[in-house]
Structures are given as C-alpha cells and as structure tokens.
Structure 1
Amino acid sequence: MSSGILFEVDNHIARVTLDRPKALNSIDPEMDAALFEAWTEINSNPDIWVAVLGAAGEKAFCAGANVSGGTEGDGRRMALGGGLTGVGGPMLTLRKPLIAAVQGYAIGGGFELAMCADIIVAADNAQFGIPETKVGIIGEAGIMHRAIRQLPHHIAMALILTGERIDAQQAERYGLVNEIVPYEKLLETASSWADRIASASPLAVQAAKDAVLSRAGWPLDVALATRYEPIEAYANSADRIEGRAAFADKRAAQWSGR
C-alpha cells in the first residue's frame, strides 16, 4: 500500500485507517491512490468479507480533500476517496459491506466518504457538515446529492444552504448514523458491527448489498422484477449448501465465502 493510510486484514475483516491526523486526515493524491489500492484489494480478495473505515486521531475523521480528481498510477482520473465517492472521476463500487467509524470533524469530502459506508458508527464528538456555501466554493456536487438522499429533505437543505454542521446526536436522530458511543469505544463498536456481519454468509451479504443498492433509485415494481446475478450465482455456491446443512444440524455455519 502507498502511504497515507493503514491497511490490515484479520479474521475476514479489512481495516482501512486514514492516517494523516496532523492534516485532519484530509485526502491528498497519495492517500487517494492508497485508498484505491485498498478498495481494489477488498473487492478482489474472497477472504475479505467486510471492511471498516476509520481514522487516526481524535480530532477528525476527515476534513475533506486537499485536491479533487486525483490520478491512479497509470494516469487515469480517480474519484475522491480512492474512487468510492464518484466525485472527480469514475466511481468505484465496493461490493463488500463497509462500516465507517467517525470521530470529530467529518466535513466536505470527509462527510461524503462517511456517507459511502453501509453503516456509520459515530463517536459522541462527531460533527458532520457541508461547508461549501459558507466558504464560497462550489465544485463537484456529489456530497449534496448524497445528503438529500440520506437525510430528511429540509435537514439536508439546511446543511447545504447554511454550511453549518450537525452533531452526532442530531445525526442519529435524523437516521444518518446507526450508533453513538464514547470516542474510546469507537473502534471496538465498529469491530463488533463487522463481526456481526462476518458471522453471516459473505456471499449472501454481498448479493443482498448488490440487489438493494443497484435498484435503490428505481420504482418498486422494477426492483421486484429485476434478476440479480449475484443472487442467482449464490444458488450454486458452497455456502448455500453449508447454510442448509447447518440449519438442519442446528449448528453454526462454517462459511467459506465460495
């Protein structure tokens, strides 16, 4: 991995840590490249079933981007966050579940990176904000499109138009975060969520995520009528056979992810 992040895998869980605390973990091109490598490894490695995205230091999860539209090693444009956000370049779709462990400032591109996660655990000192209008900078509008979809309409519009922030308690009230914990328990709690997800069939989890997100913006009748290839492929997997056998034997399933 390139510098700017820490990356480790243990017991089917990948842990990605933004590691520029002195810069409030703001994303520079080097970090973008490292994140791209991390997401690519998570997607391609069948022994990784879930990922946790955290950040070093208590003050900030991520204070946004130093620059947008970085490049990969071969010169192609890359979206902010290693491709995850779709801002400034092609969007990279993470097929595995992602948990964001957020503390301190999550503003601008950092807020957007958190919103890319499937589950958000927040420390009680977390603050979420979209400062673009307050500082007079409007470029890519990805964060605004995500906010209006993940928050109640008037709450999102207030954040967008004023540039003000909401705290962790407000974020939980509006359904943005799943759980609030003291900062000291943030990573422990995020790991607990990861363990719970990893205890389920990884292929079923990935198929469910693909089905839900690929048709999230479509009418219900279209979503119901769609054939989902990952779900169909799961029917012939070893995990499906193991799941049925474990249920019949009244024992915990031993998933292989294959």
Structure 2
Amino acid sequence: MADVEYSVTGNIAHVRLNRPQGLNAITPEMDDLLFEAWTAINEDPNIWCAILSAEGEKGFCIGADVSGGAERKSRMALAGGLTGIGGPMVTLKKPLVAAVQGFCVGGGFELAMCADIIVAADTAQFGLPETKVGIIGECGVVHRAVRQLPYRIGMAMILTGDRIKADVAERYGLVNEVVAFADLADTAQKWAEKVTAASPLANQAAKEAANARLGHPLEVALMSRFESIEQYASTADKREGEVAGAERRKPVWTGR
C-alpha cells in the first residue's frame, strides 16, 4: 500500500495519508506523491471536489518526518507544495474538504488549514509545537493560524505550543463540523457531495476570486475583475443553470 493513496469516485477525488505508524508524518516520498495528486486534481475537469483524509485514529498528520535524516536534492514543499513550505506553493483550484482526527499539529495543521472545509473528529487536537521544542523556520502555519483564528488565540498557540481540541476549534470557526470518529469519513463525503451539487465551474471561479483578494481591503476586492468569473459566463454550465431554473428542475452539470 502506498503511503499516499489516491483514487477518484464519480466527481470526487480522495487523497489519503496512509502512514499511521508514523502518525502520518510526511516523508519526501509522500511529498512527491501529494504533489502528483494535487496536480492530477487540478488538471482533470471531471474532478469537482477533493477529500483529504488520513489513516489511523491517533493522528491526521504531525508534519514533516524528520526522523530519518535523509537528504534530498530539492527541499521539501510540505504536502507536495500545497502549503508552500520549502518550495513553490501549489494552488488547488478545486474545493478541498479535510477530514481530521487525532493529532493535527505543525505542518499537518497547516495542511488542514489549506482546505476550504474542515470536518473534525471529536478526538482531533490542533497545535503548533514548534517554539515549545525550540524550532522555528519557514513556518507558514503561523501565518495561516493568525488569519484563520482570532489573532490572540492563534498567537497563544504559537507562543505556548498548547493544543486546542476540536470543540474549541469549532467555537472559533476553524472547523465546520465536529463528529464522532466513526462518522468522520461519511460526514466528509456528505460535505463533498454538497459541494458537487453546485456548479463546479462556478465553485472554482468563486474560490479563485475569494482567495485572490483575501488579503486586500473590501473596496479593492469589490472593484476587481476576475477572469475566471468572466469566462464562466460563456460556459455550458452557466446556460444549464439558466435552463434548469426556467424548467424548474435540478441542473445537470458537466463541468464544461
């Protein structure tokens, strides 16, 4: 079995970390496999949403595996570049749902925060242990934490290394839903199915526009033109939405 499993069912891609004996710490080989998965998802028009999950109840991911000490020719771009640590950032065009359980710390925490929707098991714990053990570097996780959590909550996690549990993460809006571990996979699948019920091209255009102006003042965002939104206006899915509305039926999307 590969340490990163990749499969596609219908219009949903499944990316699964499969190294539970190491709490799914990401090795260089896993990093390459993740890069391949994100690239495949971006390039396949029939994939409308992706689910990122991990094997084992104890840990979603504890970041990069630093136990082996093996060097590689190129620096790790943790999670295949999706986070941008150590290498060029890969922007995932399709919506991403993360299903998180157990320890979700360090680079694993950042990997989860790259998702658009996070479903957490009630066993999940989120944390940034770096400073607590005397480590800090190109730590993109701190930048995401202070943007996705209230500033003082994020800073407290950064400066103390303390973890927060799933219910606290939900309270602060970091996760969308908390469920029992036994229900985690089904809940993530339901979220993905909700996403794929919407127009895939409209979703992709909306995600690109939202993220492109996330760090800008509202006035700048409102005055911006977005090529992906303009291109969507001439698609078959845009016309299908109009026809389905007129015929009072559910639209049948093609992603074209």
TM, length-normalised to structure 1:
0.95
Contact 1:12 1:49 in 2 (8 A): yes
Contact 1:25 1:62 in 2 (8 A): yes
Aligned position for 1:142: 140
- Larger displacement relative to structure 2 (2-11 or 203-212): 2-11
- Rounded to whole Å, the distance in 1 between the matches of 2:136 and 2:47 is 37
Aligned position for 2:164: 166
Aligned position for 1:40: 39
Write the mapping of 1:106-255 to structure 2, written as runs, cut at 5 A.
106-255=104-253
Question: SS at 1:81's partner residue?
Answer: coil
Aligned position for 1:22: 21
- Rounded to whole Å, the distance in 2 between the matches of 1:196 and 1:169 is 23
| Superimposed CA distance per residue, residues 186-224 of structure 1 (whole angstroms, 9 cap, x where no aligned partner) | 010000000000000000000000000010001111111
What amino acid does structure 2 have at the position aligned with 1:51? A
The Cα of 1:140 is off from its aligned counterpart by: 1.3
Contact 2:99 2:185 in 1 (8 A): yes
Contact 1:3 1:34 in 2 (8 A): no
Aligned position for 1:3: 2
The Cα of 1:3 is off from its aligned counterpart by: 3.1
What amino acid does structure 1 have at the position aligned with 2:85? V
Corresponding pairs, count: 253
- Larger displacement relative to structure 2 (207-216 or 3-12): 3-12
- Rounded to whole Å, the distance in 2 between the matches of 1:137 and 1:76 is 21
The Cα of 1:141 is off from its aligned counterpart by: 2.1
What amino acid does structure 2 have at the position aligned with 1:239? D
What amino acid does structure 2 have at the position aligned with 1:113? L
What amino acid does structure 2 have at the position aligned with 1:151? L
The Cα of 1:76 is off from its aligned counterpart by: 5.5
The Cα of 1:112 is off from its aligned counterpart by: 0.5
- Rounded to whole Å, the distance in 1 between the matches of 2:136 and 2:2 is 29
What amino acid does structure 2 have at the position aligned with 1:240? K
| Superimposed CA distance per residue, residues 95-140 of structure 1 (whole angstroms, 9 cap, x where no aligned partner) | 0000000000000000000000000000000000000011111111
- Rounded to whole Å, the distance in 2 between the matches of 1:52 and 1:117 is 9
Q: Where in structure 1 are there 5+ consecutive unaligned residues?
A: none
Moved over 2 A (4+): 75-78
- Rounded to whole Å, the distance in 2 between the matches of 1:44 and 1:64 is 26
What amino acid does structure 1 have at the position aligned with 2:31? D
What amino acid does structure 2 have at the position aligned with 1:13? I
Aligned position for 2:101: 103
Contact 2:130 2:136 in 1 (8 A): yes
- Larger displacement relative to structure 2 (75-84 or 142-151): 75-84
- Rounded to whole Å, the distance in 2 between the matches of 1:239 and 1:77 is 41
- Rounded to whole Å, the distance in 2 between the matches of 1:196 and 1:25 is 28
- Rounded to whole Å, the distance in 2 between the matches of 1:56 and 1:233 is 39
Question: SS at 2:90's partner residue?
Answer: coil
- Rounded to whole Å, the distance in 2 between the matches of 1:43 and 1:227 is 22
Aligned position for 2:54: 55
